[in-house]
Amino acid sequence: MSGGAATAGLVADPRPRREDPRLLTGQGSYVADVRLPGMLEAAFVRSPLAHARIRAVDTDAARAAPGVIAVLTGADLSDVEPFPDLRERTRPVRQRALCIDRVRYVGAPLAVVVAEDRYLAEDAAELVDADLEELPVVADMDAALAPGAPLLYDDWPDDRIVATAPVDPELDAIFETHQVVRGTYRMQRHTAMPMETRGVVATVERGRLLVWTSTQVPHVVRTVIARTLGLPEHRIRVVAGDVGGGFGSKLHVYPEEVVIPALAWRLRRPVRWIEDRREHFLASSHARHQRHDLEAAVDERGDIVAVRGDLVCDVGSGEILPPGVAPAFVSAGSITGPYRFPRSQARLTCVVTNKTPSGAYRGFGTPEIVFALERLLERVARETGQDPVELRRRHLIRPEDLPYETPNGRRIDSGSHLEAFERAVAWAETTRERLAPTARGSIGVGYANYIEGVSPNYHATSGLWAQQETSTLRIEPDGTVVVASGLGPMGQGTETMLATLASQLLGVPHDQVEVRLGDTDLSPYGLGSFGSRSTVVAAGAVQLAAGRLLDKVRTIAGHLLEASATDIELVDGRARVVGSPDRSVGLAEVAHLAYFRTFDLPPGTEPGLEATGAYEQPGVDHRPNAQGKLNICLTYANSTHACVVDVDRATGVVRLLAHLAVHDAGLLLNPQVVDGQIMGGVAQGIGGALYEQLLHDADGQPLVTSFMDYLVPGAPEVPELTIDHLSTPSTTTPFGLKGAGEAGATGVPAAIANAVCDALRDTGIDITQTPITPSSIRAALRATPDPTTTEGS
Amino acid sequence: MNDLEPVDALDIELRVNGSAVRRRVPVRRLLSDLLRDDLSLTGTHVGCEHGVCGACTVLLDGQPIRSCLQLAVTADGCEVTTVEGITPADGSLSPLQAAFRDAHGLQCGFCTPGFLMTLVAADPAEHPTDGSIDALLSGNLCRCTGYQNIRTAVRRAWGRDDEGNASAGSDTPLGSGTSSGSGAS
């Protein structure tokens, strides 16, 4: 479809993406592709110790090395302000772009070498001699919680960066008078691992800083550069070209995004730094490292009347902006999932340890709590003698419950929670029968139900930026349309999406629309792409801008056609009189008046054809209310995952035979793109469930720093996914849209764990942590009585 | 012997995408850096620098290799083909590239050139099943797509039917491994 009449609605437009031809032919423009005349290259010197005081950093030998232009330490950059600590109720870390007196994780930046090329910079980086005084290492969350633990921050009383302790005597009374089922569930440290590492190129152009960086949040990066370097924002331009994946890791602003601009500013020469993969393992955000003690109070009918949890998140050193505590708050706030548990409470403790700072990763705290809750439900079913499917069915939100407010204040406006689950159960029962186990294997089925917050309030995460998004629409003199947005795409097809919005909401052909993104000079201030928000907030902003621009087009076209402005509609790029399609003018003719023959404009009409719309989402809370409730997102998509696995009883190897995602994201603007988001999310979920982990030894030394050890799933590990779309529009969003960026990843660890336990149910195995490795299954089987040596199912 | 004296740089001659290239190259310079920084062929991407992810795959005399693990001087006298070299001269898409676009076989696009180079060197007859396609692709990592649409693109580019080669999970009540819902409301 191309264009069509501007209407109150949007329709699905399953076209191939406009980004693809350049990406398929090697014509994309990623940060590492930027090459400038006279460009220097930087290499960072990183801490080899997890915790140490910096006595001195000797750079003399490095400075004397061939091709070296400059070597800077933290002391040399002491005039650079610390990263701002913006979030309330989170202890300040005063993160430095280069460490000054203390290093708190292996990989922390100590110094930077700038040389004629990267080879020479890396040679010289080896010559930098850091005199470090080792300090006791806090290697894990238990060590951080122990009384008298060594402190990472000398002015803190302990290593807790966040501690919430809600008190609810009524809830405690419920747990004292009911049967209680409890479990402890752990998710391992793993992370986004985009195929493109990070990178920054900076230069000074006509007195302004020009910075290329691989980021999801170009404007936010600009603000942080301005605050740390003390420059006005208008003297900084941040450009994110094509970004090679982000998945949350690139919504953080990193030290190198300040250091490289500072170097370019001082040296007045272009400087490039491209993170290598080992650096990425050390210096880009980790994620998901949580432990949940969960309890359910069950009444005599087997109904769950309350859940409560004690959640601990290991955020690493904490030196990251926005702080890595935010996903753990989402875990705590999502403790009831899509289930009607009348009461809930979550105590949250986030601790700092001597490891790489953790932060955002697709799902943002939700996969962790879904894993814990769905495993707990299985245990409740077993300990109370119930069918786990029936237990879920009885507690899921039903259509008549909507809108439904969870005990934590999430306001779920719409969804198909029970229907999604029923469809998954029907699929799983059929699929289980169809699939045969391997010779030593047993087959099992697992489910996970969840909701995924869409378009979160970034204020709760960052402490500063809230939730607005802005788009500008301009009709050029030749009638083409330019839409500019502050979103920060990382491969999701955002350009195509924005063109589709502008095309449909204005009424112009798709190929008549050009999109400007990822450049702070070309786009209005926006908060970037994260939290499954891009399509939803862009639709809100483009809708406002298109309405304003259409009003003007109607006025001018009405004047040209001698008709009332209210009788003009824009269809396929032509303004025509409603009911008389013969009477029409093209957008170029309208623009000709607006820009050139301005003396022919209707009286009082301002020249030009441009409008801006800034969308602020309604009904989202910025801080908890007196009862601790917080509605953090604009809406909540729902999903059920089901999978069928084969578990080899001798080796413990899990094979995923079939996986279903029933997904309700409302209207799908580009169904093929939404499917792609779910497929990619599921693959990442498989990695987190079975393969990926970032291990450290007792000294905080990372044991996994390459793709040899960090097992990103390859094609053989990811089965064909079946996607079943339901389509319940939101009542709170523009056009009923819901986001779909994150949800694919969220249900996978829980569904696979449940399926593995189902396959081995005769053994009583109860998986409580990820990754579910062959050795962990063999260990669990050894630890449980084995009533049979034959295939279990 | 003089030949065994260490040298910092060597003169090399090779053909890149059909054009002759003569360069004096530091002996430790990687082929990926020669292609990207010296020849401005930035379609070859470097994802891990240790030969696992496959993003930097190019053809050396027709065989796929990791350009991040190959010293440029060892390509002396060879024919190198990059993603720019498999793109039709008029800037349109080859059938393989078009299949990736139509099947939504790419998202961020960073790994895509490596997949394309692996595939152009492959003989479809040696990969008759989905399982053998997966084995072929197992040396290339993609973090965005989950591989399913890449598999679809390969089937289509190789003249195979989506349904005919569909694997587990395909003949369920809910559809064929792709979207079964209406998508619109």
Q: Which of A142, A505, A160, A466 is nearest to A291 (CA)?
A: A142
Give the separation between CA A49 and CA A259, rounded to whole angstroms: 21
Least confident of A174-188, A267-281, A459-473, B71-85: A459-473
In chain B, domain spans: 9-86, 95-157
Task: Specify the fold of B9-86.
Answer: Ubiquitin-like (UB roll) (3.10.20)
Q: CB-based contact (8 Å) between A490 and chain B?
A: yes
Contact A297, A257 (CB under 8 A): no
Cross-chain Cβ contact B181/A724 below 8 Å = yes
From the list B173, B174, B183, the residue facing A12 with the nearest CB is: B183
B40's torsion region: left (phi>0), alpha (psi -120 to 50) or beta?
left
Among chain B residues, the shortest Cα distance to A194 is held by B143
Q: Which of residues 372-431 of A touch B (CB under 8 A)?
A: 423, 426-427, 430-431
Domains and CATH numbers, chain A: 20-28+468-615 (3.30.365.10), 34-135+195-245+249-283 (3.90.1170.50), 290-459+621-783 (3.30.365.10)
Q: What is the DSSP annotation of A342-378?
A: SEEEEEEEEE--SSPPB---TTTTHHHHHHHHHHHHH
Q: How many helices (H) and strands (E) does chain A have?
A: 20, 28
Q: Which pLDDT score, from 0 to 100, does residue A791 have?
A: 42
Cis-peptide into A403, omega within 30 deg: yes
Contact A20, A87 (CB under 8 A): no
Going by pLDDT thresholds of 50, 70 and 90, the confidence category of residue A88 is confident
**φ/ψ (deg, to 5) at A765:** -60, 140
Whether the per-residue pLDDT at A386 is higher than 50: the answer is yes
Which H helix or E strand runs over A212?
strand A208-213
Q: What is the pLDDT of residues A645-687, one digit of tens each?
A: 999 999 999 999 999 999 999 999 999 999 999 999 999 999 9
CATH of B95-157, one of 1.10.540.10, 3.40.50.880, 2.102.10.10, 1.10.150.120: 1.10.150.120
* B22: exposed, middle or buried (Cβ count in 10 Å: 0-12, 13-18, 19+): exposed
ipTM: 0.96
Distance from CA of B82 to the nearest CA of A (A): 9
Mutation site for B-interface testing, chosen from A33, A122, A195, A198 by largest number of B Cβ within 10 Å: A195
- Span between the terminal Cα atoms of chain B, in Å: 78
From the list B41, B46, B109, the residue facing A242 with the nearest CB is: B109
Query: What distances in angstroms separate CA B176 from CA A318, A529, A645, A721, B184, one per listed residue?
Result: 45, 31, 19, 9, 19
Give the separation between CA B57 and CA B35, rounded to whole angstroms: 12
A417 vs A784: which has the higher pLDDT = A417
Mutation site for A-interface testing, chosen from B144, B170, B172 by largest number of A Cβ within 10 Å: B144
Chain B contact set for A675 (CB, 8 A)? 104, 149, 178-179
Percent helix, percent strand, percent coil in chain A, to nearest 5:
30, 25, 45
Tell me which amino acid residue A338 is: P
Chain A contact set for B122 (CB, 8 A)? none
* A208: exposed, middle or buried (Cβ count in 10 Å: 0-12, 13-18, 19+): middle
Going by pLDDT thresholds of 50, 70 and 90, the confidence category of residue B163 is low
Going by pLDDT thresholds of 50, 70 and 90, the confidence category of residue A471 is very high
- Helices A366-383 and A326-333: crossing angle, nearest 10°? 30
Chain A contact set for B109 (CB, 8 A)? 19-20, 23-24, 28, 242, 244, 491
A474 CA to centre of own chain: 30
A482 vs B174: which has the higher pLDDT = A482
The token pair that represents A479 in the structure block: 């009638």
Chain A contact set for B166 (CB, 8 A)? 720
Chain B contact set for A680 (CB, 8 A)? 107, 143-146
Q: What is the pLDDT of residues A213-233, one digit of tens each?
A: 999 999 999 999 999 999 999
Cross-chain Cβ contact A724/B29 below 8 Å = no
For range B134-159, the mean pLDDT: 97
Q: CB-based contact (8 Å) between A666 and chain B?
A: yes
Q: Which pLDDT score, from 0 to 100, does residue A390 have?
A: 98
Give the separation between CA A250 and CA A217, rounded to whole angstroms: 8
The token pair that represents A716 in the structure block: 């053989």
Contacts of A467 (CB under 8 A, 6+ apart): A455, A456, A457, A458, A459, A527, A537, A616, A617, A620, A634
Which H helix or E strand runs over A485?
strand A481-485
**φ/ψ (deg, to 5) at A420:** -60, -40
Give the separation between CA A448 and CA A256, rounded to whole angstroms: 39
For range B124-140, the mean pLDDT: 96
Query: The tokens 């470090």 sit on which residue?
Result: A132
Distance from CA of A525 to the nearest CA of B (A): 23
Contacts of A201 (CB under 8 A, 6+ apart): A31, A34, A36, A39, A211, A212, A213, A260, A270, A271, A272, A273
Cross-chain Cβ contact A16/B169 below 8 Å = no
Q: Which of A638, A620, A635 is nearest to A457 (CA)?
A: A620
Whether the per-residue pLDDT at A782 is higher than 60: the answer is yes
A vs B: CB pairs below 8 A? 259
Q: Which pLDDT score, from 0 to 100, does residue A2 have?
A: 36
Cross-chain Cβ contact A676/B149 below 8 Å = yes
Q: What's the DSSP call for residue A81?
A: P
Question: Count of residues for chain A?
Answer: 793
Cross-chain Cβ contact A423/B168 below 8 Å = no
Give the separation between CA A675 and CA A679, rounded to whole angstroms: 6
Q: What is the pLDDT of residues A734-771, one digit of tens each?
A: 999 999 999 999 999 999 999 999 999 999 999 999 99
Give the separation between CA A289 and CA A236, rounded to whole angstroms: 36
Q: Which of residues 103-162 of A touch B (CB under 8 A)?
A: 119
Q: What is the pLDDT of residues A101-113, one digit of tens each?
A: 999 999 999 999 9
Q: Which of B147, B92, B88, B89 is nearest to B115 (CA)?
A: B147
Whether the per-residue pLDDT at B55 is higher than 90: the answer is yes
Mutation site for A-interface testing, chosen from B58, B81, B100, B108 by largest number of A Cβ within 10 Å: B108
Q: CB-based contact (8 Å) between A660 and chain B?
A: yes
